[in-house]
Structure 1
Amino acid sequence: MKNLYLLLAICLLIGCSEKREEVTLSGLKKADFEASFEGKETGLYVLTNKNGAEACITNYGGRLVSVMVPDKEGQLTDVVLGYDNIFDYVAVDGNFGALIGRYGNRIAHGRFTLDGVTYELPQNNNGHCLHGGPNGYHTCMWDARQIDDQTLELTYISPDGEAGFPGNLTIKVIYKLTDENAVDIAYEATTDKPTLANLTNHSYFNLSGRPGSQILDHQLMIHADRYTPVNKTLIPLGELASVEATPMDLRRPVAIGAHIDDAFEQLVNGGGYDHNWVLNSNGDINVLAAKAISPVSGIGLEVYTTEPGIQFYSGNFMSGSDKGKHNVIYPHRGAFCLETQHYPDSPNQPEFPSTVLRPGEKYHSRCIYKFTVE
């Protein structure tokens, strides 16, 4: 087991008793994120911009822990779910705010073939490999270097054979909190053997300023004419289906809860929305890919990406038992995710855009989460 609970608990107790208490705008105590894990030190890195907005990141899993942006009354509001100490992040099997890899989303049956060689991966979700397996990058220790008040660099070398994937993958991720109140995430990676690369961020958003509430009233738009239908275990069927005249048509803003429980086969399969949309933006980072708005707070979230797809997940598997920051219970459908990505199961679906990365090539991906006030 990677999770050394006792060691973390001891380190937290020592850290809390000896270190000067520093508290972020979101109420996080830096000392609660200081521990020793896998021979490296965990910490909480704080980014601020000229507007007074704040983003906090831990190098355990490269996780976005909090994002404080103004609501329609000018009050700073935390819009992402998570925990207020490193122990909970390690102890709970979840993806709150995490960097995901080596392959974000699902690979059918935990198996793919590349250049005639078949690779076996951990099966951690209905017989499939999800988000790189149970010990994916969301559980790894990233090396952190804070470049300036607004920029954090995270690096990780994923060894050949980790979770069954071939090649040493050298990864760099840059988090930047811009003066436009955007969290700009830039990914780079290189490999020494042919491999797969599909990295993303798995932040859970609730824009209302009421983290114990559901997000069914949030208005959502996804700039996509097509999506990838899935079977009952959420593996794509291989087609790019039109959203026309279906509950998957989000080309104009729609309340997330408006059709979420419709007797539509795809929503039944996902227990709600848990699908990949084929973006019309065609990899243009300057074209809006998706937008969500809370009618309560007036906070909007705009998503821009170089990726061909985006996974919209409506928190269907949130059990209502998670106790997050400040002891708030996160309810069923208490957040949504917009994960920019290549399509699920692309390694087994040759008609989908390729996720193969070869020596001499460089993987690039970028996602911008920009927060606005309506």
Structure 2
Amino acid sequence: MTALFGARELQIISVPAQGLPQRTTLGVEIAAGKVSDYVVQVAQSLHPEHLAGQRALHLGSAAALSSDGRAADLLAPFVEIQGDRFIYDNPSAPASAKDGSVIADLFVIFETPDGSRYEVHPDASSTPTQVFVQVPQSVAIGTAKVYVQRPQYLSNNGAWDQLVGKESNRVQLSYDARYIFGGLSGNQLLVIDSQSKYLAARIPIGGDYPAPRSVAISPDNTRAYATLRYESAVAVIDTVALQQLDADGNLANGVSNIELLPGARPFWIAVSKNGNKAYVSDEVAGRIYVLDIDPSSGSYNQLVRTLDVGPAPSGLRGMAINASGTRLFVAAPEKMLFGSAQRRRPGLRDRRGRRQRDLR
């Protein structure tokens, strides 16, 4: 199920394995001045022994805890999942086979379009009907399906040695481009709420002095890509959870960016109409970096190609893609060298002097 942000009415029809379809009518609205405050409720009737029933998903912000148990300085995005029978005592099982009877046994699973699964234990404050979990920085929450998994032992001729995972129904969030993103010269991205016109968040970007500059949004509005002038890289932002994403999906090596070539000085970024590629210009070289930004791709969030554009004695600047998505136009300023302009190669410019590349 996909439900959009904003004030609107939704009708959800669930078809159980037995019985008549159930219709749920609900209203969805984000209160003014709130950041990513979202609730979806679904009528659900499930047997406790068969499945952990998930009937609501709520995304909001809370104070994250540091390793010593104290509240951290920054707010972190949390998912609150409301449901029934997330834990099950399994009364027939012996004491050694009671997995799934306490909150610590549960997993909240974020499943991404490429099939990857990120498993996170719920926060200790969770209850049998409310599960809280911090959104991992390895997942763009708007692209993921979220569900709860409960372990449970089944009797195998009285042996109780068959461990299975009981899964709730899956819920996926979508986003309707509510926020406006802009880079600062230091290490932050500003987020403006387009409805309230207020500053909604400041998202910190890792690095000594990354200096985010140009920002482009994916067509599905789930991710923002920001060029980092002094990091030779591009940062990825979750536009729903409002946090920086780990580009390689492996938090063991820290929150990483999309690395360009050594010495690159990224200036502008443009995203293809189909959302599969992003193009980054270099302000000191006649080079365009092509990034794979398709969440279902095996090379997701990686540099996959470079395009050389010349002559470009002063590097490249702004870029734009035409309406059909077949041509990329890039500004390539020239300067006078020894009293004369650099000689132009025919066929590389349009009538206004802009470079162009065929994307077909």
TM-score, normalising length from structure 2? 0.23
Q: Which has the higher contact order (CA 8 A, sep 6+)?
A: 1
Higher share in strand:
2
Larger radius of gyration: 2
Higher share in helix:
1
TM-score, normalising length from structure 1? 0.23
